[in-house]
Amino acid sequence: MNSLHETEVLVVGAGPAGTAAAIQLVRLGHSVILADRTGQTGGLVRNAFEVQNSPFTYPPASGQQLALAMQRHLSKWDIPVLPLNIEHIGVGDSGIYGG
């Protein structure tokens, strides 16, 4: 089992949804842990040959390029992707914990 990480907000998955959620939460001033079992951004779209409808990349890019753009955007907000497979989530004295 992973060790437990305590935080105000735990976002599980660094695909498009988790990436957008983590950035918006940090912009609102929350402390956020973004965890993905692959340790990478992109989620399923990383496998796409060409993504034509992305708000992150223009002109159309491969899924891997889109994943890199997400990674750069997270870096701008100092949000690391922790390589954790989240198996447990709970509420502790000072926030959410997961691991």
Ligand X SMILES: Cc1cc2nc3c(=O)[nH]c(=O)nc-3n(C[C@H](O)[C@H](O)[C@H](O)COP(=O)(O)OP(=O)(O)OC[C@H]3O[C@@H](n4cnc5c(N)ncnc54)[C@H](O)[C@@H]3O)c2cc1C
Cα–Cα dist 17/19, whole Å: 6
Q: Provide the phi-psi class of 95: left if phi over 0, else alpha when psi is between -120 and 50, else beta.
A: left
Among 10, 32, 43, 68, binds ligand X (CB under 6 A): 43
Alpha helices, DSSP H, located in the chain: 16-27, 63-76
Residue 86 touches ligand X, criterion: CB under 6 A: yes
Binding to ligand X by residue 47, rule CB under 6 A? yes
- Determine if 3 is a binding residue for ligand X (CB under 6 A): no
* Residue of 6, 9, 45, 62 that binds ligand X (CB under 6 A): 45
Query: Interface residues with ligand X (CB under 6 A)?
Result: 12-18, 35-38, 43-45, 47-48, 51-53, 84-86
